[in-house]
């Protein structure tokens, strides 16, 4: 938990859209893989072409089941002789065991779960890069998911370009030993927010989250994760189903942003003309009004059908 008291949701929302905010992602996991075939292992297990990542580069990739269902969307950070894997919330231990089950006798891969040794902060907002530069990070204009090491206040931190929320996004990671020093430096230049405020901003941005939009119920293309899938690399777990969906150009359902007429709850069924056509996966209320994410059948979206959830009208946000 951060030592700086988070501001209230209206102030958090305003700060994100005019400057930048800081939140701790305390439940994100971090795995560390070494060995000559570490990237080959991840390449054959996940959707993105990651075998050629160089030190300082990174990529988002999706681990899927044999039938293309989402296990997790992980972010890779390549070093000279290792790769770090940022996992979904509370998923580090389970993914470590999943990787270990897929390391075979001819693989040269060693794995450590560093989740308890790593602190992960998120920095988001319209001026996130500018504020981080002012704090002392020397290089902020990075491609998405690429990373750089920095010395901040005598402590070591790692800056990672991330998916944008309220405009832009970064992860800042460090060891638990340096956590207090890095948090202090970040908090001096950023507005601290809590998990509730972050989730409202995430939903507004349409960013899927592990355990909500990213689960075994869905396939990466349905979640809109096209950038995280390679359609030209070799075989990987779940490829047949995902490639078939892409080649046919037909998705049974799609993740969409929703604007309800009044607050709704995650788990509510979405209906059209009395028929079930989807489900709300995330929902929150705040300064911009009620917001939600949900999966809706493509046929209903194409028809422009009027939608409701729990008797409340919902409109798809384009």
Domain ranges of the chain: 9-204, 252-317
pLDDT in tens, 291-307: 999 999 999 999 998 99
Topology (CATH) of 9-204: Gyrase A; domain 2 (3.30.1360)
Give the Å distances, CA to CA, from 301 to 51, 280, 292: 37, 15, 16
CATH class of 252-317: mainly beta
Mean pLDDT of 96-101: 98
Contact (Cβ atoms closer than 8 angstroms) between residue 237 and residue 65: yes
Q: Is the pLDDT of residue 246 over 90?
A: no
Q: How confident is the model at residue 1 (pLDDT cuts 50, 70, 90)?
A: low
pLDDT in tens, 212-227: 999 999 999 999 999 9
Question: Does the model's pTM come out above 0.85?
Answer: yes
E strands, the chain, where?
Answer: 21-24, 28-34, 58-64, 70-78, 82-89, 110-113, 118-124, 147-152, 155-165, 168-175, 191-192, 253-260, 269-272, 275-284, 291-297, 307-309, 312-317
């Amino acid at each position: 938990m951060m030592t700086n008291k988070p501001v209230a949701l209206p102030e958090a929302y305003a700060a994100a859209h005019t400057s930048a905010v800081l939140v701790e992602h305390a439940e994100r996991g971090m795995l560390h893989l070494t060995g000559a075939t570490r990237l080959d292992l991840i390449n054959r297990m996940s959707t993105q072409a990651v075998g050629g990542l160089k030190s300082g580069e990174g990529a988002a990739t999706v681990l899927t089941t044999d039938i293309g269902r989402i296990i997790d969307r992980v972010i890779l950070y390549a070093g000279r002789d290792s790769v770090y894997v940022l996992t979904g919330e509370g998923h580090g231990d389970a993914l470590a065991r999943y990787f270990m089950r897929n390391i075979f006798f001819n693989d040269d891969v060693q794995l450590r779960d560093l989740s308890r040794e790593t602190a992960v902060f998120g920095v988001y907002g319209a001026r996130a890069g500018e504020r981080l530069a002012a704090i002392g990070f020397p290089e902020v204009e990075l491609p998405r998911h690429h990373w750089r090491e920095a010395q901040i206040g005598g402590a070591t931190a790692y800056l990672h370009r991330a998916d944008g929320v309220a405009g832009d996004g970064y992860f800042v990671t460090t060891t638990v030993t340096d956590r207090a020093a890095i948090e202090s430096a970040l908090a001096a230049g950023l507005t601290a927010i809590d998990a509730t405020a972050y989730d409202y901003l995430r939903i507004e941005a349409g960013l899927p989250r592990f355990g909500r939009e990213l689960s075994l119920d869905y396939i990466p293309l349905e979640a809109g994760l096209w950038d995280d899938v390679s359609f030209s690399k070799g075989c990987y777990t779940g490829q047949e189903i995902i490639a078939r969906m892409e080649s046919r150009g037909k998705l049974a359902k799609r993740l969409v942003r929703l604007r309800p007429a009044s607050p709704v709850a995650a788990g509510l069924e979405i209906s059209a003309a009395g028929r079930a056509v989807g489900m709300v996966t995330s929902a929150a209320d705040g300064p911009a009004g009620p917001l939600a994410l949900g999966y809706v059948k493509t046929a209903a979206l194409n028809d422009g059908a009027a939608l409701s959830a729990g008797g409340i009208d919902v409109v798809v946000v384009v």
